[in-house]
Homo-oligomer: A and B are copies of this chain.
């Protein structure tokens, strides 16, 4: 459907009518869907008392200088600006959040902000991927983050927000599931198997690709990129097959896990208990194979998928307690959050028939009967708008009244206010009710002064 770069797109034009490669235009019919989806995100955020924030789509490239081999960093939409400064269209929002939090934090790690910070945003994020034509280069991503809560209740709140969104829209625990794991637990296990703290993040980025590239390729990468001995790599992959906390504990029976890892197992258990208290336990599944592909996660990680297995991940997140200290904060500031893209969820909602009808709608079309009535019709439009009505104004009188009715129907108008000389001389405006079933009682001539009370008109 999309034209290629540099080629002419629109039939009408000398210019390319397509948006830049991999990006989307939002025509009004698309925008209604987007506004409905974003409105649903916002409604959940309001329910959880999260505050909205935003930042420029352009960020300094240094914010993403991470060495763990993450796809998101390798595929940045970065460039050098005319001042020689290295910038990028943001690939994700979390580093921006961290930057903004640090911007209000002093040298001793004390923030001027009220903690915990609970923020949300729906930023557009970009990537540049040269190889695969046709893959999208931007998406919007609902982000919710809690800064300043070390305990597992922060994870529980994030998961509650996601599942509230699902149930608000009619997506059940039979439609989707959220796989939960803990990097602290996996880290403890890997440490017991000989993986150093320094290797851990890069190993996570690799094993995250298990589903995509398979066990053999993952093992090979662990060996080649992280110098993990092949038998250790294989035993890590085996551990990741656990699908319950019990199973994981059994697998680890022979290992001497540190107290931190053991505490993290208990924490995971209490997260599942909280999910029961809150009422969303049906959505959760323990899955030791989920580690997420971002380097900065340090604790619980989670990833949401459709149970049919047809779609890519719907959303994902986790705890990232060390990102702010990585950026230079003198104390560790605990953080938990998730990112929830706008594309996969729309695929799912459409598959399930859960997108409501989102038709164009207006209260009135104000139509002057002829050219001499245009000014009077404007005063009618002004009066109706002042009363809160949504009013389309027909600036060019139509030759046939049928054209006016046709246009009114196509814009979804409930009423036509027809401003014609006969009624106008008597101080009246003719209101036609386009929603009335009764064709004998679908029209009223009402005094100009009564227009603001149009909602109170009775139609039988």
- Complexed CA–CA distance, A28 and B116 (Å): 14
CB-based contact B395/A56 at 8 Å: no
Residue A66 lies at the interface, judged by CB distance under 8 Å to chain B? no
Find A395's partner among B12, B85, B128, B154 (CB 8 Å cutoff). Answer: B154
B residues near A52, Cβ cutoff 8 Å: 28, 31-32, 35
Interface size on A, residues (CB 8 A): 108
CB-based contact A329/B49 at 8 Å: no
Residue A151 lies at the interface, judged by CB distance under 8 Å to chain B? yes
CB-based contact B390/A47 at 8 Å: yes
B residues near A107, Cβ cutoff 8 Å: 11-12
Interface segment among A207-215, A273-281, A449-457: the answer is A273-281
- Complexed CA–CA distance, A54 and B362 (Å): 20
Within the complex, what minimum Cβ distance (angstroms) separates A162 from chain B?
13
- Complexed CA–CA distance, A58 and B393 (Å): 33
| Interface positions of A from 121 to 161, Cβ below 8 Å from B | 124, 126, 128, 130, 138, 149-151, 153-154, 156-157, 160
Find A53's partner among B5, B31, B82, B407 (CB 8 Å cutoff). Answer: B31
B residues near A5, Cβ cutoff 8 Å: 83, 85
CB-based contact A327/B14 at 8 Å: yes
- Complexed CA–CA distance, A109 and B333 (Å): 59
- Complexed CA–CA distance, A12 and B59 (Å): 19
CB-based contact A57/B153 at 8 Å: no
Residue A51 lies at the interface, judged by CB distance under 8 Å to chain B? yes
Q: Given A114-B411, A164-B385, A274-B378, does the pair A54, B83 have CB atoms closer than 8 Å?
A: no
3 closest A-B pairs by CB: A153-B395, A14-B328, A13-B328
Known: A16-B62, A17-B103, A20-B87. 16 other contacts (CB 8 A): A6-B85, A9-B103, A10-B103, A17-B100, A24-B56, A27-B104, A31-B51, A31-B52, A32-B52, A47-B388, A49-B392, A58-B89, A58-B126, A153-B395, A153-B396, A157-B395
Interface residues of A (CB under 8 A from B): 5-6, 9-21, 23-28, 31-32, 34-35, 46-49, 51-60, 62-63, 77, 79-83, 85, 87, 89, 99-100, 102-107, 109, 114, 116, 118-119, 124, 126, 128, 130, 138, 149-151, 153-154, 156-157, 160, 164, 273-274, 276-279, 327-330, 360, 362, 374-376, 378-379, 381-382, 385, 388-393, 395-396, 407, 410-411
